Amino acid sequence: MRAGIRIAIVDDHPLFVRGLELLLPEVSSGRATVVASTNDAAAAAGLVRRVVPDLVMVDLHMPPPGGVRAIAAIRHEAPRVRVLAMSGDDDPGPAVQALRAGAEGFLPKSSEPADLLQPLLAALDGWVVLPSELLAAVMAQAPGPRRIGVPLSEEERDLLQLIAAGVSTTEMAGKLHVSERTVKRQTATLLRKLRVSSRAEAAALAGSAGLL
C-alpha cells in the first residue's frame, strides 16, 4: 500500500467533510489524510494548485459553478491529480457529466468510510472507480452501438477488456505476464490509439462495442 495519501475535499457539507477528516486516517492506519478542503466550487482549482494533493474528492451537488465545472477546472489546472466525484443521490446524469469532465471515478456519499480506502487506492493507481449501475448508465447514454475505429491486436483487446473490468495493475500484470510498469505504458498507448481521454471512456467504448 502506498504511503502518505494526501486528499483534498470539495464539498459544502461541513459534517461530511469533518467525518472524512476523522475517519479516513483511522481506516487507513494513518496513510490517508485530508490536507485541505473548500466549500466553494469556484475555489477548487486554486486549492489544488496550492496544496498539490494526490487525490481530490468533489461533491457534484454544490452551489454554482457546481461540482462538474470544479472538476473541469481542476483537470485543467492540475492534469496529473486524480479526481473522484461524489453524490448523495442515485441520479446517474451528473456522474456521467463528471466523468466527461475528467473525473477518474465516482463514489456514493452513502459509502462507509472503511469501504472508501480501496477505491481511493485504485484511483491513485490509475483505474476507473465506478459502481456497476453507473457503468451501465454510461453505456446507456452512449449515442448507440459503436465500433472501435482502429484495428486492435489480440493483446490490445485483452488489455481493453481488463481495463473495462476494473482489474488492478498487479492482477493485470500477472494475467498479461508483464511488469506493472509495462501495463501502465501499454494502457496509455491504448487510450491514445482509441482517442479517448480516460479509462472511463475506454470502458464505455468497450461495452458499446460488445467487448465486455
**Candidate from 98-102, 137-141, 177-181, 207-211 with smallest mean pLDDT:** 137-141
CA dihedral 197, 202, 208, 211 (to 10 degrees): 160
How far, in Å, CA of 131 to CA of 152, rounded? 27
Which regions of the chain carry the CATH code 1.10.10.10?
A: 142-208
**Candidate from 87-101, 164-178, 197-211 with smallest mean pLDDT:** 197-211
What would the grid cell of residue 170 be? Answer: 498487479
Highest mean pLDDT among 53-57, 105-109, 125-129: 53-57
Q: In a 3-state reduction of DSSP, which class is residue 3? A: coil
Highest mean pLDDT among 17-21, 137-141, 171-175: 17-21
The per-residue pLDDT for 204 is 73
Contact of 153 with 176, CB cutoff 8 Å? no
CA 115 to chain centre: 15
How far, in Å, CA of 102 to CA of 147, rounded? 23
DSSP state of 129: B
Q: How many CB atoms lie within 10 A of CB 47?
A: 22
The per-residue pLDDT for 142 is 53
What would the grid cell of residue 24 be? Answer: 479516513
Query: Greater confidence, 6 or 136?
Result: 6
133-159: average pLDDT: 71
Residue 145: pLDDT band with limits 50, 70, 90: very low
State the architecture of 142-208 in CATH terms: Orthogonal Bundle (1.10)
Give residue for cell 457529466.
97
Residue 141: pLDDT band with limits 50, 70, 90: low
The per-residue pLDDT for 212 is 57
pLDDT in tens, 8-61: 999 999 999 999 999 989 888 888 999 999 999 999 999 999 999 999 999 999
Q: CA 110, 13, 86: angle at the middle one, nearest 5?
A: 45
Q: Which amino acid is at 25?
A: P
Burial class (CB in 10 A: 0-12, 13-18, 19+), 2: exposed
What would the grid cell of residue 1 be? Answer: 500500500
- Across the strands, what pairs with 34? 7
* 5-139 belongs to CATH 3.40.30.10: no
Which regions of the chain carry the CATH code 3.40.50.2300?
A: 5-139
203-212: average pLDDT: 70
Query: Greater confidence, 88 or 2?
Result: 88
The per-residue pLDDT for 55 is 95
Highest mean pLDDT among 23-27, 109-113, 120-124, 136-140: 23-27
The per-residue pLDDT for 1 is 47
